[in-house]
Structure 1
């Protein structure tokens, strides 16, 4: 299993509220509709910053994250190179994401605490 983590920047033409609404209500369901995603994606979550601030930890100005767990690197590649992704999902990304300033990492996840951590 591998995990892709994306630190998202919104398209400059969108407000934060428009970005969040589009990400949740349009992009999420569009990605979920991919046949390849139904086969290879184990989990997909979106996170959007809260309005409250804290002085305990500095927070960057990203507009959200997307975290996707795939069954394998080849599964990730199958999803992201599928015709439906290239023709529908990726063009949708261009309407609400600032791709040039969105960061992506791919790696192995190591559970330290939580449901999957053995005590």
Structure 2
């Protein structure tokens, strides 16, 4: 499986409550409405909690990058499935719709995206 990880920082001027509410209640359903056009298998939002604690733990490890407000994870069966979706008119339109909406609440210059393949090291019974 291919997974996209979108490390998100909110736009300046938005409170945490406004940001998380919009992301979950408006953008989340918008992503869900585009799953067929984009061949998406799963979508998960992880909203940051206790940001100060995160900064303390990061600083203790020598990290200098400030934290993210959350991450979004999107899964596809394969890179080929994502590529096939993006080659269609519907997939391109869906991608544009999502990007336009993300620009409303995400600070794109301070956010980042990368792709992964998971390797489970262990799983508790």
TM normalised by structure 2 equals: 0.76
Map 1:5-84 to 2 at 5 A. 5-34=5-34, 35-37=36-38, 40-51=39-50, 53=53, 57-58=57-58, 60-77=66-83, 78=85, 81-84=91-94
Q: Which stretches of structure 1, 4 residues or more, deviate above 6 A after TM superposition?
A: none
Of 95, 99, 104, the match for 1:85: 95
Q: Gaps (5+ residues) in structure 1?
A: none
Query: Where do 5+ consecutive residues of structure 2 fail to align?
Result: 60-65
State the aligned residue count.
Answer: 113
RMSD of equivalent CA atoms = 2.5
Please identify which structure carries the higher helix content. Answer: 2
- Looking at structure 2, the residues matched to 54 and 104 of structure 1 have their Cα atoms a distance apart, in angstroms, of 20
| Cα deviation, residue 76, structure 1 | 2.6
Deviations 1:18-63 (CA, angstroms, capped at 9, x unpaired): 11111100111101101324xx222211111113737983274211
